[in-house]
Structure formats: structure tokens, C-alpha cells
Structure 1
């Protein structure tokens, strides 16, 4: 019988494991993917908005070459943290069902069955892209995840979106020789774009190196062209690839199946006590970005690290 079963081996799930160790609680961490799976699927050349010290967990220093670390440095850092604390990790194992009886939770995965007094859900949101729901979205030329710009060299690429992932993809592909067209629903570049990147994309658009259609949307994709609805009307442009950087959403269905209440508005905020992170289900806690429901920009590593300590203190107090 475990004191706590942790779902999600991202930075916050690891922080919860460390907090369990320090509170002398028995635990396991399970993730359907690799260690810090979401970070692994970030673009190869991505740079974090946060500085290194704000990404630290478990009082392990995050030493990197620049003030703002990149993806590879973060992967190495969290791997070293997991080794340092000898975290009990069960990777590539997916939770399928959670049952409860007499205040004991039975967790069934595709590999094992566990029992625990408490559960922490720290699953993030990067696994489920927001779909366009347009004709041609199923074509292999469209991707909801962007990795490396070299693949798109000398191709005609449409990038959809106005936030950091879209801006990074547009600039990197253009610098590798792609002909880049941006399709942006809003009338301007997103306000959350990294401050050192925003002038770069604005200048590239102003000089015409990157074409941008604002207040516009992609309406259909075909093998060699695509249709864009603009304020001036429908246009068709030649196209080889589409990078739909439209964002991602959490698996809220899993929360509902677990019995966690969600708000009735469009944000679908899960219910939890902000002082303990415990949900309406006794002994089930939330940690990290999953706490924001569909508002995926309200919680980050740097402002949700504290969740691990709050949860450990609550479990210890109720033991």
C-alpha cells in the first residue's frame, strides 16, 4: 500500500516525488511516456522564457550556459534530478482506471495494479493538440508538433498561430530557407511572445521576408495548395507543409472519469483547495498546469513547484 501514487513524470510530478521522499511517504511515479515527456517533445532549438533558477526542483542547482536554458539542457537537468533522488519511476506505463473502496484507491495501468491512500495528478496538457477541424487536416503534410526546421528547407510552409511556438517555427524555418506564410486569427502578434523574439518576427513581417495574414484563418488544405480566409476575401496559395501551432489542451475527460468536478464555463477549471491542492475527491490532489483547466497559460513550472510541498504537508497531516 503506497502513501501516494503520482501520475505524470514531468517536472512537477518529479517535484511531488521529491516532496514525498522528504516527508517519508512511500510513492511511485507513473507516466505514459518518457521522463519529462512534454519537454522531450518541445522543438529541438527551443529556449525557455524562464531563467534556470526558476525551473529548479528539489534544491538541485540548474547550471546552464545561458540565463535562459534550452530544451536539451532542461532534459539533462531533470534526468540528473531523478538520478540524484533515485526516484521510483515507471515510464511508458499508462493509467487506465482508478477505483476506490474504503478510502483506498486501486490504480490499474496497462502493466500493473497498484493500491494507494492518495493520488496526485500532474499530467500537464501537451499531449492533445487543439484541432483546426477543417478539410484536409488529416493530410500528412500537416503537423501539430514542430521539431527541427531543417526538414522544411526550401519548402513552402504555412505556420498557424501567433504565440511563441508559432513564432519560433516561422523564424527558424525561414532561416533554413523555407518560404514562410503565417496565418493569424488575431489582428497582431501575441502578447505572450518572448520579448527578445517579438521585434525579430515583427521586422521580418514588415520587410516582407515572412508573409503574414492577420485576422485570417486557414479553411482548407490540399496536397499542393491551401485556402486562407482573409479580411479581403478567400485566397489560395501554393503550399507544401502546414505547421498548426494552435496550442494544446489537458485530458479533462480523465479528471471527470476520476470524479473531479469541473467549472461550468469554458475554462473547465477543476475544483481543488488552493491551500492543500486536494480536489473534491478525498485523497486526490492536482499539481502543475492541469490545475488551470483550459486556461493552459495560468500555471508554469516556476509558479506551480510549490504544489508539491503543499500536497506532501496535507497528506502527512491527514495520515
Structure 2
């Protein structure tokens, strides 16, 4: 199947939805292609996650997000974005992965796992949650190790190592501890991260201080085995009994897709894609970036609330160039 569009949007998360709303409002022929379910990254968030942002800062397309809480949680966000997509009748191609973007006579051919599309413009809004940053230690690929934390009940009464010091790691440590897990945190830096949610940071620091949660700072996991794990600490190497490892080591965008499309990445290790800050157009004509993917490895720079405006910038530039 070959279909032609003015705009093809890669990524069905909040920013991809915002781009779809803007494209529809402008009267453009568009579609949104998403490798998983609708707002796939949010679906894979922990069950009880609470957003740092208030509901109005998560709104897209000027459609109100009404929440009974000061800061909404995952279920409310899933409901909101689903209702936005369905009530606005957005064109969606779900469970369809984009494999390649190829220039063709002033347009692009986008090959997916199911279809082939022809489009004048491409918007890449793929986020960063699909590819975890690996530990590169022996035993990392054992079934007991996960880079995605979902539900604390699974770890009840077990010995759990949580790697990391930011929001995801802190949430996993506190929630599994409160479900009866024996929790050890392994933290590369000297303290809990300064970007941890302000209402959670005192909680984790107090649990560590009182000894309810063990924390090894300036430390790394060096090996993982079925029933134990090795940790390098400032006091020397230690081995502890262990049932599960939750490695909250962060994630990265799909750089392979960007590079295959011809988008330049910075060579300073941050891999920041080349794009114009006003139009969001990359070095490849008519290929745009929106959302977290713009930050490369600096995945903490862009959020829903400060990248919603990318949609209007991009569609405005497309309309100007028609």
C-alpha cells in the first residue's frame, strides 16, 4: 500500500498528537504513525506515576485537561490523550514501526513495518523512552534485570537493587519498599538527584537516613548473577544477595532512525540533532523534530509542557513554504 500525505508524523505521544491537531486545523493531509499503542511511552510509565507538571501544562491543541488532583497521574493522562485523539478523529496508524525515511524527488518515502508512504514533510516526534541506556556489565541480560519499572507489587518481599538517583529510580525504590521489598539503591553520584520531584525528595532522603532503604553513593553495579550482585563502593567491592535489579539508568532517542534519514548529530557525546530553533526543521529539508527527541542524550531538557509549541512552529513553517 502506498499513500501520499502533506505531513507524516512519526510518534503518537502527546507531542505527536499536538502536531496532528495542528496539521488538521491547517487543512493538511496528514497521518500519525506509532510503533506501539496510542501514547505508547505514557502507557509504559509506572502504574502509579504522578506527573511533575499540572494538568493545564499537559494540554495539547487548546483542549482542557481536567484533573481532580493538582498534578495528574498516569491513568488520567492516558484517558485525556485518548479522548483528544478519538474526539478529534485524528488519523492514526498504530502498532506500525517506521523503518526508513528516504528522499525521493523533493519528497520522502517512509517505509514502515506495514506500509509505504509518500509525503512532502516528515515530523519526527519519537521521544526517548524506547531504548534504555545499558549498564554493560555481566549479567545485565538476565531475566531478573529490567530497565522498565511498572508495578511495585511484583517485588513484594524480594531483595531489590534499584540503580539510579532520579525520579524513576526514587519512585521505584519508595514504592517497592512500601510493598515489603528489601531495597538497596546503587547511585553513581554522591547524592539523590536535584531534579527529583520536590515532594518526593525528602521522603527518599529520610528513608535512607533512617536505614529503611540502603543506599550506596559513588558506587556502581559491576556484575549480576542469579542470586547476588557485585557493587563497587568507595569502601571496596561488596557482594549482596539479590532477587531483582531495576536499572533506572535513563533512555535515549532512536538515533539510528535519525542518522539513516540523514540528520546530523553533534559529535560531543550529547548527539544533539541539527535543527533550526524557530522552525524545528533539520538539516534535511522538510524533516522536522518535535519534543524530547530534540535534546539528543540531554533527555531532561524537553518535556510536554515546554515542547507543545513545536507543533505550531512546524505547521506554521510548512504552511509558509507550501
TM, length-normalised to structure 2: 0.98
- Alignment partner, residue 209 of structure 1: 212
Q: Which residue of 2 aligns with 1:76?
A: 79
Match of 2:177 in 1: 174
Compute the displacement of 1:278 (Å). 0.5
Output the CA distance in 1 between the equivalents of 2:254 and 2:31.
Answer: 21
State the partner residue of 1:241.
Answer: 244
Alignment match, 1:119: 122
Shift of 1:79: 0.1
- 1:175 and 1:242 map into 2 onto residues whose CA distance is 17
SS of corresponding position for 1:313: helix
Cα separation, 1, equivalents of 2:257 and 2:301: 20
In structure 1, C-alpha distance between the alignment counterparts of 2:140 and 2:104, rounded to whole Å: 44
Aligned residue in 1 for 2:146: 143
Provide the residue aligned with 2:316 in structure 1. Answer: 313
Distance 2:118 2:225 in 1: 50
Q: Which residue matches 1:25?
A: 28
2: CA distance between counterparts of 1:218 and 1:36? 32
Among 191, 195, 217, the residue aligned to 2:194: 191
Please state whether the residue corresponding to 1:120 is helix, strand or coil: strand
CA distance in 1, matches of 2:109, 2:235: 58
Q: Structure 1: how far apart are the matches of 2:206 and 2:104?
A: 61
* 1:45 positional shift: 0.5
Q: Distance in 1 between matches of 2:266 and 2:186?
A: 32
**Are the counterparts in 1 of residues 160 and 245 from structure 2 also a CA contact under 8 Å?**
yes
* 1:295 equivalenced with 2:298 (yes/no): yes
C-alpha contact 2:99 2:257 (8 A) present in aligned 1: no
For 1:4, the equivalent position in structure 2 comes to 7
- 2:48 matched to 1:45? yes
CA offset at residue 58 of structure 1?
A: 1.1
Query: Which SS does the other structure have where 2:298 is aligned?
Result: coil
Shift of 1:149: 0.4
Name 1:272's counterpart in structure 2.
275
- The offset of 1:138, in angstroms, is 1.2
Structure 1 SS opposite 2:239: strand
> Partner of 2:132: helix, strand, or coil?
coil
1:221-247 alpha-carbon deviations (Å, 9 max, x no partner): 111111110000001111111000100
Find the residue that maps to 2:177 and give its secondary structure.
Answer: helix
Structure 2 residue aligned with 1:89: 92
Distance (Å, rounded) in 2 between the aligned partners of 1:125 and 1:132? 17
* Structure 1 residue 55, shift from structure 2 partner: 0.3
Please say if 1:66 is aligned against 2:69. yes
Query: How far apart, in 1, do the equivalents of 2:311 and 2:85 lie?
Result: 15
- C-alpha distance in 2 between matches for 1:100 and 1:257: 11
* Alpha-carbon offset, residue 100 of structure 1: 1.8
Please state how far the C-alpha of 1:83 moved relative to its aligned partner.
Answer: 1.2
Question: 2:18 is matched with which residue?
Answer: 15
1:265 to partner: Cα distance: 0.7
Over the residues paired in the alignment, what is the CA RMSD in angstroms? Answer: 0.7
Q: Would you identify which runs of 4 or more consecutive aligned residues in structure 1 move more than 6 Å? A: none
Cα distance in structure 2, aligned partners of 1:275 and 1:220: 46
2:164 matches 1:128: no
| 1:8-64 alpha-carbon deviations (Å, 9 max, x no partner) | 000000000000011111100001100000000000000000110000001111111
Which residue, out of 258, 280, 284, partners 1:281? Answer: 284
Distance in 2 of aligned mates of 1:99 and 1:221: 42
- Aligned counterpart, 1:219: 222
